[in-house]
């Protein structure tokens, strides 16, 4: 009985550790960059979107080509207030507010 | 069987619709929803005809808004009358446009593809293998130009062929709606598009350097605002300096018409009815048609060029602080032509509450129907000769009468957002289309349509109200049949009745009488004042010098208070009706009337008190 509980505890602890590791990987260095951190005329790749799939915003993002794996170029950012952003994705120019930009995880493509 | 015209937003669908159909368009709503359905007869070869429906633009079958949903239902076979399809593809945006086509092919549609923007595509060095495209898609691909009419006959031919063919049954696969939301599905489609492009496009497009260069200015954090305000400033200057000669011409014409009719009809009462009532009233407003058209032209031009989206981009930072997305600028700007298209344009706001707020403040912006009123009052207040540097003082005052109401609209919106429960401002997330030089024909046609609507709709209201005012100022008659002193007319009685309300604002009974029909349509104020003074037999009203009369009769404080009243006072009946329809109830229009009435009275009162 004692052993069982210890085993359950151990496995739970292990699971927790694995999860927090995953979380660290997902949200910490080096990939905690979002579209809100872009600099004009550089290229980026989308890694993940933190929006609910059913939401209107998710739909709009998909329609315009914002899906994981897609590349885009930052065209313009309002410098002081950092809002809005203009990016070029799949041949079209898209304007995003900071609110939306924060939901898109990206990485830079260095040439 | 209706032929549907389908395509993504900003691909030139409306221009093609106009090119394919005659000038008679029917605008109705799709059943059960307030989504505009534009239909028109399209002539086909061999003397045949069909009904063409302009479906709302959509990016994909994965839809976000009500408009897109209507188009999707049409494509997924939920609309009984849905027949063959024409799909509009932009040759300069194939990468974007092919997505919807692939989805339609997946469902079993074989639309006739109309490839637009071919001239731009050639100019930018793109070469498209149309044969290969047809093979891949399994449907006809026809290059068309809405401007030159090139390819239009071939398109009509192809549609006729489709109509005689047996209908393909459209199968909606199970779980399709869910499937198309999966990232893998989207990525796969993008991959297919790239493969297609590889085969179809022999030489790629050179980048659109014009759009890039213009955007460097138009979207510049400082330069962008300079561009925006310069555009607006010149627009208001133009309203005065360009429309002036045309207005003088109409004014002279109306005066001549009046005196000519006056010599024809000698029966005094009939003469007064026609000369003072109809020609005086309606003419007083028709004079402002050049200005109103110029305003419509300007807004339409900005929209066709693609600038309205840029204005939304620029204003997003500022607007967001007040609780609205920058996109709200699009309806706010277009309501300067008329509040009704402005209210309709609020549809681009996905959030219901934001849409409601935008609808409530749109009536504050200076619509073109207020132009006659403001022009008249400014002219009475400020001499035409005074200037600020190279600009006419009247033009500067007019600019202020656009900027101030716009700021009030934004402020009221901010207050409403504070009062109403709300989430964070909804998304900006919009495509900024490339700049396009508007096609003069398309521009002119839209303008003529709008002018026609304005003259026929507003004209009827103005005519009816002018007659009512004439009756009110001309009756009751004395026992010998001659007119009583106007001071004892019905109009004076009504005007005096409202005195307790309006006297604190410095308005006399003549203005009070004119204010009431102005609820029907703003510009009637001018007509009403013209009629009152004409019947009164004022010498100067004969020559159309209402400006001089107002400057002589009223103090600066009264005229200023009247201007302020018109900035805030409730909008015309048509606006109330359209807000009721769009908001789906009486609450919003009634709230609008109530708050603008209170605001107008308080602000006009303050103005009068300060200046008197």
CB contact under 8 A, B62 and A62: yes
Look at residue B268 and give its three-state secondary structure: helix
Look at residue B53 and give its three-state secondary structure: strand
The three-point CA angle B417-B423-B427 to 5° equals 95
Chain B (413-442) residues lying within 8 Å, Cβ to Cβ, of chain A: 424-434
Range scoring the smallest mean pLDDT among B33-37, B279-283, B390-394: B33-37
Contact list in A for residue B423 (CB cut-off 8 A) is: none
- Chosen for mutation from B11, B63, B64, B211 (greatest number of chain A CBs closer than 10 Å) is B64
CB contact under 8 A, A62 and B95: no
- Give the tens place of pLDDT for each residue, B131-163: 999 999 999 999 998 778 889 999 999 999 888
- As a whole number of angstroms, the distance between CA B568 and CA B599 comes to 6
- Give the tens place of pLDDT for each residue, A37-64: 898 889 999 998 888 777 888 888 888 8
Mean pLDDT of B457-472: 73
Mean pLDDT of B65-94: 84
CB contact under 8 A, B432 and A67: no
Total-model pTM: 0.74
Would you tell me how many other CB atoms lie within 10 Å of the CB of residue B220? 16
Using the predicted structure, report yes or no on whether residue B339 has a pLDDT greater than 50. yes
ipTM of this complex prediction, to 2 decimal places: 0.71
The length of chain A is: 111
CA distance B278 to chain A (A): 51
- Using the Cβ of A37 and the Cβ atoms of chain B, whether some distance falls under 8 Å is answered with no
Report chain B's mean pLDDT, rounded to a whole number.
82
Mean pLDDT of B179-207: 89
CA distance B348 to chain A (A): 12
- Using the Cβ of A71 and the Cβ atoms of chain B, whether some distance falls under 8 Å is answered with no
B306 close to B432: Cβ distance less than 8 angstroms: yes
Strands B49-54 and B36-43: antiparallel
Given B96, B427, B429, which is nearest A90 (Cβ)? B96
At A28, is the pLDDT very low, low, confident or very high (cuts 50, 70, 90)?
very low
Contact list in A for residue B317 (CB cut-off 8 A) is: 78, 81, 83-84
- Using the Cβ of A76 and the Cβ atoms of chain B, whether some distance falls under 8 Å is answered with yes
- Give the tens place of pLDDT for each residue, B118-134: 888 888 888 999 999 99
Please name the residues in contact with B95: beta carbons below 8 A apart, sequence gap of 6 or more: A90, A91, A92, B193, B194, B197
- Using the Cβ of B327 and the Cβ atoms of chain A, whether some distance falls under 8 Å is answered with no
- Chosen for mutation from B316, B320, B351, B435 (greatest number of chain A CBs closer than 10 Å) is B316
CB contact under 8 A, B427 and A86: no
CB contact under 8 A, B317 and A53: no
Q: Tokens 């900071």: give the residue.
A: A98
Given A64, A70, A91, which is nearest B93 (Cβ)? A91
CB contact under 8 A, A56 and B59: no
Given B350, B428, B434, which is nearest A84 (Cβ)? B428
Using the predicted structure, report yes or no on whether residue B342 has a pLDDT greater than 70. yes
Using the predicted structure, report yes or no on whether residue B92 has a pLDDT greater than 60. yes
- Burial of B391 by CB count in 10 Å (0-12 exposed, 13-18 middle, 19+ buried)? middle
Contact list in A for residue B350 (CB cut-off 8 A) is: 56
B70 cis-preceded (ω within 30 degrees of 0): no
CA distance A14 to chain B (A): 31
For residue B30, the model assigns a pLDDT of 61
Q: How many CB pairs under 8 A join A and B?
A: 110
CA distances from B417 to B320, B363, B377, B590 (A): 11, 17, 33, 18
- Using the Cβ of B186 and the Cβ atoms of chain A, whether some distance falls under 8 Å is answered with yes
- Using the Cβ of A79 and the Cβ atoms of chain B, whether some distance falls under 8 Å is answered with yes
- Using the Cβ of A48 and the Cβ atoms of chain B, whether some distance falls under 8 Å is answered with no
């Amino acid at each position: 009985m004692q052993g069982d509980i210890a085993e359950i505890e151990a496995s739970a602890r292990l699971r927790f550790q694995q999860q927090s590791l995953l979380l660290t990987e997902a949200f910490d260095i080096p990939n905690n960059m979002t579209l809100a951190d872009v600099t004009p005329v550089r290229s980026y790749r989308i890694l993940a979107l933190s929006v609910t799939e059913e939401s209107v915003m998710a739909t709009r993002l998909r329609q315009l080509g914002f899906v994981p794996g897609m590349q885009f170029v930052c065209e313009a950012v309002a410098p002081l207030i950092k809002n809005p952003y203009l990016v070029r994705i799949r041949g079209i120019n898209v304007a995003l507010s900071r609110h939306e930009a924060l939901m898109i995880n990206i990485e830079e493509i260095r040439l | 069987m209706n032929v549907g015209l389908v395509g993504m937003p900003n691909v030139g669908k409306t221009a093609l619709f106009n090119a394919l159909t005659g000038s008679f368009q029917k605008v109705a709503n799709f059943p059960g929803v307030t989504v505009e359905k534009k239909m028109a007869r399209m002539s086909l070869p061999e003397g045949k005809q069909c009904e063409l429906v302009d479906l709302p633009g959509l990016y994909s079958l994965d839809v976000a808004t009500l408009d897109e949903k209507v188009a999707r239902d049409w494509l997924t076979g939920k609309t009984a009358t849905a027949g063959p399809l024409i799909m509009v593809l932009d040759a300069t945006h194939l990468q974007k446009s092919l997505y919807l086509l692939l989805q339609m092919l997946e469902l079993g549609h074989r639309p006739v593809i109309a490839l637009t923007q071919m001239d731009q595509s050639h100019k930018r060095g793109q070469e498209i293998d149309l044969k290969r495209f047809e093979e891949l898609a399994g449907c006809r691909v026809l290059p068309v130009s809405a401007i030159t009419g090139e390819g239009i006959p071939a398109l009509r031919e192809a549609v006729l062929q489709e109509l005689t063919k047996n209908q393909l049954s459209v199968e909606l696969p199970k779980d399709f709606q869910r499937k198309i939301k999966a990232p893998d599905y989207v990525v796969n489609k993008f991959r297919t598009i790239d493969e297609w492009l590889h085969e179809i496009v022999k030489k790629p497009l050179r980048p659109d350097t014009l759009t890039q260069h213009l955007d460097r200015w138009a979207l510049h954090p400082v330069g962008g605002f300079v561009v925006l305000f310069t555009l607006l400033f010149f627009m208001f200057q133009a309203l005065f300096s360009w429309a002036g000669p045309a207005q003088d011409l109409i004014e002279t014409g109306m005066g001549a018409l009046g005196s000519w009719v006056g010599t024809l009809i000698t029966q005094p009462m009939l003469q007064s009815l026609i000369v003072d009532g109809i020609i005086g009233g309606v003419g007083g407003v028709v004079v402002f048609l050049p200005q109103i058209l110029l305003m419509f032209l300007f807004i339409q031009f900005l929209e066709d060029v693609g600038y309205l989206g840029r204005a939304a981009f620029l204003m997003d930072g500022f607007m967001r602080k007040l609780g609205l997305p920058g996109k709200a600028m699009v309806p706010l700007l277009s309501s300067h032509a008329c509040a009704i298209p402005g209210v309709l344009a609020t549809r681009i706001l996905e959030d219901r509450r934001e849409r409601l707020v935008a609808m409530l403040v749109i009536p504050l912006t200076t619509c073109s129907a207020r132009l006659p009123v403001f022009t008249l009052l400014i002219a009475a207040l400020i001499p035409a000769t005074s200037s600020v540097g190279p600009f006419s003082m009247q033009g500067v005052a007019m600019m202020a009468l656009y900027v101030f109401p716009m700021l009030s609209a934004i402020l009221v919106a901010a207050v409403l957002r504070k009062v109403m429960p709300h989430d964070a401002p909804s998304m900006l997330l919009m495509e900024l289309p490339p700049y396009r030089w508007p096609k003069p024909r398309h521009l002119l046609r839209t303008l003529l349509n709008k002018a026609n609507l304005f003259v026929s709709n507003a004209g009827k209201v103005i005519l009816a109200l002018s007659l009512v005012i004439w009756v009110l100022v001309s009756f009751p008659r004395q026992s010998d049949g001659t007119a009583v002193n106007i001071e004892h007319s019905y109009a004076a009685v009504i005007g005096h009745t409202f005195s307790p309300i309006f006297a604190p604002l410095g308005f006399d009974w003549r203005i009070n009488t004119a204010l009431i029909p102005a609820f029907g349509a703003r510009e009637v104020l001018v007509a009403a004042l013209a009629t009152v003074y004409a019947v009164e037999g004022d010498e100067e009203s004969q020559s159309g010098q209402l400006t001089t009369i107002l400057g002589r009769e009223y103090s600066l404080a009264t005229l200023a208070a009247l201007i302020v009243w018109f900035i805030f006072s409730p909008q015309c009946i048509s606006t109330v009706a359209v807000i009721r329809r769009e908001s789906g109830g009486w609450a919003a229009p009634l709230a609008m009337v109530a708050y603008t009435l209170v605001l107008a009275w308080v602000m006009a009162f303050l103005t009068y008190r300060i200046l008197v």
